[in-house]
Amino acid sequence: MAAVNRGKQPSLAQLRAFAAVAEHLHFRDAAAAIGMSQPALSGAVSALEEALGVQLLERTTRKVLLSPAGERLAVRAKAVLGEVEALLEEADAVKAPFTGALRLGVIPTVAPYLLPTVLALVHEKYPHLDLQVHEEQTSSLLEGLGAGRLDLLLLAVPLGVPGVTELPLFDEDFVLVTPLDHWLGGREGIPREALRELNLLLLDEGHCLRDQALDICREAGRADAPVTTTAAGLSTLVQLVAGGLGVTLLPRTAVRVETSRSSQLLTGYFADPAPTRRVALAMRSGAARGAEYAELAEALRGALRPLPVRVL
């Protein structure tokens, strides 16, 4: 298709002026909002109307209204300015690593136990990084990563998702949490086969920890899905155990926080090799800030060493 000659192109200054007027519907307020004089603002909007060949505003002595065309084009102008802002942020990130926003997605069975370490590391080592944390389940995090809503994920792997690169951080064992009077409470060297007969409490559908627990049960030779009671979070799950409804599996990083909430719990440890999970950072393959994310992963490995994990 042949290119259409549309004459003069609108400038960013004109789009900013129009977007400000569209938001405030008042020339004085719009001019103050973007630091422009009122005559200059009015001139920029008029120049934009001329460049586009459409009337954007209906001006009266009392107020400013958007024309029907103005209402439609205001949405476009805001989108263009948003993309320009994103471009400038990306350029700043390239020029100055570990500055600007980093949108980190974290699964609920990791967030309460690792975020204190992550936040302390960022505060100490990357003070100019604007870390924004989003706690969501794995499927939502992967959707956000693919759509560009999130930059980096902290979650259990493997994911097996095309276009996603994993940066492994550590492996950690699962332990068995039981009521005080349970026959496996406090024991060491528990065989996995013991899981075949236990009333195992699990998280709700959608949590990867639930799927991992079911995989462990299948590996132990349990064919059925041991689900009679479920919970939305580990804290509730542990309280159900304390109340005598069954037992559950916790990753080692969660044990201290969750079992300290009740005196009615014991922790049992599996015989080697214990069931484990791997936790990693995940990014879009070929991400512009991939080198930064790899450096962050290495720094995190060092910061996580005091935890009950096997750093990779």
Please choose, from the candidates 237, 246, 231, the residue with its C-alpha nearest in 3D space to the C-alpha of residue 179: 246
What is the topology classification, in CATH, of domain 171-276? D-Maltodextrin-Binding Protein; domain 2 (3.40.190)
Rounded to an integer, the average pLDDT of 145-167 is 92
Q: How remote is the C-alpha of 205 from its chain's centroid?
A: 19
Q: CB of 154 within 8 A of CB of 104?
A: yes
Question: Can you tell me the distance from the alpha carbon of 99 to that of 93, in angstroms, rounded to the nearest whole number?
Answer: 6
Buried b (16+ CB within 10 A) or exposed e, 74-85: beebeeebeeee
Question: Can you tell me the distance from the alpha carbon of 301 to that of 162, in angstroms, rounded to the nearest whole number?
Answer: 25
**Domains 101-170+278-311 and 171-276 belong to one CATH topology:** yes
Please choose, from the candidates 109, 121, 156, the residue with its C-alpha nearest in 3D space to the C-alpha of residue 255: 109
pLDDT of residue 206: 58
Going from the C-alpha of 226 to that of each of 150, 211, 264, the distances in angstroms are: 34, 12, 23
Question: Can you tell me the distance from the alpha carbon of 251 to that of 174, in angstroms, rounded to the nearest whole number?
Answer: 4
Share of the chain above pLDDT 70, in %: 91
Instruction: Return the SS3 of 4.
Output: coil
Please give the helix or strand (H or E) that residue 14 lies within, else none. Answer: helix 12-24
pLDDT of residue 2: 43
Q: Where are the alpha helices (DSSP H) in 53-110?
A: 68-95
* Domain locations in the chain as residue ranges: 12-90, 101-170+278-311, 171-276
Structure tokens that stand for 281 in this block: 């950072």
Please choose, from the candidates 214, 210, 228, the residue with its C-alpha nearest in 3D space to the C-alpha of residue 108: 210
Question: Can you tell me the distance from the alpha carbon of 267 to that of 251, in angstroms, rounded to the nearest whole number?
Answer: 11
Q: What is the value of pTM for the model shown? A: 0.67
Q: How does pLDDT run across 216-272, given as a tens digit for each residue?
A: 776 766 666 555 667 778 888 888 888 888 888 889 998 898 888 888 888 989 888
Question: Can you tell me the distance from the alpha carbon of 284 to that of 166, in angstroms, rounded to the nearest whole number?
Answer: 9
* Minimum mean pLDDT range among 16-30, 44-58, 139-153, 189-203: 189-203
pLDDT of residue 266: 87
| Nearest-5° Cα angle at 279, 273 to 283 | 145
Q: How does pLDDT run across 177-227, given as a tens digit for each residue?
A: 889 888 888 889 988 888 777 778 877 765 666 777 777 776 766 666 555
pLDDT of residue 46: 93
What is the topology classification, in CATH, of domain 101-170+278-311? D-Maltodextrin-Binding Protein; domain 2 (3.40.190)
Half-sphere exposure of 177 (CA within 13 A, CB side): 34
Rounded to an integer, the average pLDDT of 161-171 is 94
Task: Please tell me the CATH code under which domain 12-90 is placed.
Answer: 1.10.10.10
Rounded to an integer, the average pLDDT of 52-72 is 87
Q: Write out the DSSP string of 158-215.
A: ----TTEEEEEEEEEEEEEEEETT-TTTT-SSB-GGGGGGS-B-EEPTT-HHHHHHHH
